[in-house]
Structure 1
Amino acid sequence: MSKTIRLKKGLDIRLVGEAEKVTANAPISDFYAVKPSDFHGMTPKMVVKPGEKVKAGTVIFFDKYNEQIKYASPVSGEVTEVVRGEKRRILEVRIKADSEMQYEEGRSMDPASMSSEEVKSVILSSGLWPMIKQRPLDIVANPDNDPKAIFISAFDSAPLAPDYDFVLHGQSEYFQKGLDVISKLTKGKVHLGMNGSTRHDEAFTGAKGVVQDKFVGKHPVGNVGTQIHHVDPINKNEFVWVINPQDVMIIGRYFAEGKFDLTKLVALTGSEVKTPKYYRVISGATVKSIVDGGLNDGENRIISGNVLTGENIGQDGFIGFYDNQITVIPEGNEMKFFLTKGWLGLGFDKFSNSRLFPTFLTPNKKFRLDTNTNGEERGFVVTGEMEKVFPFDIYPMQLIKASMTNDIDLMESLGIYEVAPEDFALCEYVCTSKIEIQEEIRKGLDLIKKECL
């Protein structure tokens, strides 16, 4: 039986540039890339070399410290370059795509007639396993762990986030097949987090074999971490696996057709996009194939993901493996006259989580915001603002400080096993000290992985 959980804490940042519910096919990208940096903590071991031909689904590298987990090419073509950084760290594996797609041979399978180990083996060997992430640590799930539950959030509450009801409309069969597959991976329950304020598409409302939990509130109500915390909190030595609903659909499509097809809908959003809408693309495509000629003039920041947690990839970057959204906003590096748009301005064009600016009188107004932080890092002071936007029964500032000081015992007692960097994105936004909070939480999680898990 489903229950409705109402959250009072959070913040909805209202931005201009929501994607219209229109779908277009993005031009075929010449180049695609798989980026090891998308999979935090993974050390890649190359299987192919530059100049070799690959098909969609061909394994191109695996995790050096867990060879079961393989990473496959999203397209067929030629491996043109392995881009390396400092200490020869692999940053990207670039592939020049063929004009006609070729796939590794596969076959349709019925998960109902397969054992848990058989299903796990298929997902691992196909290269689809990286779609499944693990809490704690927010990394690719370790297939040797036994998750007590699997969580899927059917909605995203981040600024300008894609509408998964629109994305999965007409994909009910694949989504249900994916749920049937995922349910084989745990002896516990599969939870589907629903937005209690809206009506969902039949792909979600008709889902079978899941527990439907309803949530009402402001962002981060759609974050899977928030939902886990309020439904089935994580303790030490417990594991929960999470997966995006669109990735569930891709896994279901693989089992239905036997084809490694990473085609998905990506929302192009933001105030600097002339026509925000949804594009059908293959994961790992260059962002240029979507944004070229479709942006307003000026210096813009192109973000793979949302404005709170996404990555600045620039005009020549590639869409992140886990990202279903591209956001384009002004760069924000222009000088502002202090009497009009500066610190003495009236603020009629500014968004605030408090009543500092008169725009709190227009609760439905949307804003064109840039990347300017309006200040630099300063002393970490207690303001009480983080607690207003952090809907966990956790003390956010104390946990952040424990992470910054590498205090493992304090981190454990304050709930480090329950959180991921994205859960602190709003804390970072409202932080008057301009601290890179998500980065500090990530460092704390890395320390916990090294010393405690």
Structure 2
Amino acid sequence: MTSVGLLGSDLPGLRPHFEVEEGDLVEKGQVLFTDRKDPRVAFVSPLAGRVTGISFGARKTLSSCIVTATEDASPDHATSPIEATDHQSIRDVLRSRGMWSAFRTRPFGRIPDADAKTLAIFVNACQASMRAPDPSVVLQGREDLFRLGISHLKQMTEGKVFVCQSPGEALCAQDDRVEVVSFGGTLAAGLSGTHIDCLYPIRAGIEVWTIGYQDVIAIGHLFATGQYLGERFFSVSGGGSAPARIVRSCLGAKISDICSEQESPCALAGDTLTGHPATYLGRFDLQISVGSNVIATTSVERRSHGSGPSALIATRALDNALAPDILPVPLLRALSIGDSETAKRLGCLALVEEDVAALSRVCTSGAPYEALLRLVLNELMAETA
């Protein structure tokens, strides 16, 4: 591992207040910057190393912060478990120790406000695609940390914690506050938008949070050991029939550190359908797709987007790419013309970009639905401000 990147694209609108400067040595879990709007929310380094790049976007929003591993980086220090039993102390730990950014709100797909409350928490423990890491495999030997993470999530909501998984043996025990639900059979089964639409449909005044299963493990690890867990398991797969290989690396890892020299030039962050070219993995990327056909297919699709939308035709692929209760063609039409009220009525508040990424590839119109959805969500969010 040579370097990691904390990317502004994962933190839309965030204006950081940096606690470090370029050239500073940092420890794993050390605060790099805080949210200027609320300094209680901290963002930390996934590894020990040196800060080698800080760049800003428009209006001093974050573009990227790069940390490069060095031989003189400090090793992990001995720590002790963190005792936190009530919701306020748990929140304080998660905010100050870099784990608050693991949550995303629905609606709008933002990091929750520091004092926000949620009516339910959705843990996505589904295998997002056939070649994504298998949660049941990743959890082997880490079951206790996962259970500990779930127990702390229960303290953060008055409602339920929904553990959404692929069909198979339950990944954790159920009780009156934890419900394990299986999803499978369609392209959309692994998406949090599908889980929310089926189990807790978004209405006015409702806010729920989502979090990935590996982040739940990291929360359990933080409270069990007092140490920030910056490592995650990723899959690397090619375009053929060979099985994906699972690698252990850091959040925001540089793709060329994970892939071979032959793989790196044609690697995508994500699966072959919804992935995108990138230098560093995003905060929620758990899969790398490689192969000579991957970039070519994506670039053709993106060129078609630039030539203007074609007719929008209802297909089975569209039906399988969205939650079963959401009508794809009416929703996509509303997004295409920026009709936010109709899109809201059709269920867009349960969705974020990842939920419609496949639609941009399988829809005959060729429209960029991720960007169109974000425009509509931003308009609706501005109305609630």
Length-normalised TM-score, structure 1: 0.76
Quote the residue 1:173 is aligned against: 144
Superposed CA offset, 1:300-345 (max 9, x none): 53222223443311xxx222221111111325677xxxxxxxxxxx
Asked whether 1:429 is paired with 2:361, we answer: yes
Distance 1:121 1:150 in 2: 18
Aligned pairs (5 A) from 1:291-370: 291-293=259-261, 295=263, 300-313=265-278, 317-330=279-292
- Structure 1 CA distance for aligned equivalents of residues 237 and 182 of structure 2: 26
Question: Partner amino acid for 1:74?
Answer: P
1:257 matched to which residue of 2? 225
Aligned to 1:78: 50
How much identity, in percent, do the aligned residues show? Answer: 25
Q: Does the 8 Å contact 1:58/1:104 carry over to 2? A: no
How much has 1:89 moved relative to structure 2? 5.0
Q: Aligned in 2, Cα 1:387/1:207: closer, same or farther, shift over 3 Å?
A: closer
C-alpha distance in 1 between matches for 2:77 and 2:108: 32
Q: Relative to 1, partners in 2 of residues 1:388 and 1:129: Cα closer, same or farther, differing over 3 Å? A: closer
Partner of 1:383: 313
TM superposition shift of 1:176:
0.6
The one-letter code sitting in structure 2 at the alignment partner of 1:312 is: P
Which has the larger share of helix? 2
Distance 1:286 1:246 in 2: 19
Unaligned runs of 5+ in 2: none
Over 3 Å counting, the alpha-carbon distance change for 1:332 and 1:306 in structure 2 is closer
The 2-side partners of 1:104 and 1:397 are apart by 55
Cα 1:288–1:274 change in 2 (3 A) is farther
Deviation at 1:51, TM superposition (A): 1.8
Number of residue pairs matched? 379
1:372 corresponding residue in structure 2: 300
Structure 1 CA distance for aligned equivalents of residues 148 and 131 of structure 2: 29
Q: Per the alignment, in what secondary structure is the counterpart of residue 142 of structure 1?
A: coil
Letter in 2 for 1:195: S
The 2-side partners of 1:223 and 1:439 are apart by 18
Distance 1:273 1:126 in 2: 41
- Name the larger-Rg structure: 1
State the distance in 2 between where 1:67 and 1:41 align: 15
SS at match of 2:227: coil
Residue 230 of structure 1, aligned match among 170, 181, 198: 198
Query: Match of 1:59, as an amino acid?
Result: V
Structure 2: how far apart are the matches of 1:311 and 1:332? 9
User: In the alignment, what sits opposite 1:141?
Assistant: 112
- 1:40 maps to 2:8: no
Cα separation, 2, equivalents of 1:46 and 1:105: 26
TM-score (normalizing by structure 2): 0.89
**Residue deviations 1:7-58, cap 9 Å, x none?**
xxxxxxxxxxxxxxxxxxxxxx222221122223322222211122211111
Name the CA shift for 1:375/1:54 in 2 (closer, same or farther; >3 Å): closer
Q: Which runs of 5+ in 1 are unaligned?
A: 1-28, 335-368
CA distance in 2 between counterparts of 1:451 and 1:104 reads 47
CA RMSD, 1 decimal: 2.6
Residue 239 (structure 2) pairs with residue 271 (structure 1): yes
Aligned to 1:246, what secondary structure does the other structure show? helix
After superposition, give the CA deviation of every residue in 1:358-396 in whole Å (9 maximum; x if it has no partner). xxxxxxxxxxx7653397244442411234543342333
Q: Cα gap change, 1:333/1:206 in structure 2, threshold over 3 Å: closer, same or farther?
A: closer
Q: Which structure has more RCO (C-alpha within 8 Å, separation ≥ 6)?
A: 1
Contact preservation (8 Å) 2:15, 2:60: no
Instruction: Provide the residue aligned with 2:30 in structure 1.
Output: 58
- Per-residue CA deviations over 1:377-425 (Å, capped at 9, x if unaligned) read 4444241123454334233333333334333332332222121222222
Decide whether the 8 Å contact of 2:221 with 2:227 is kept in 1: yes
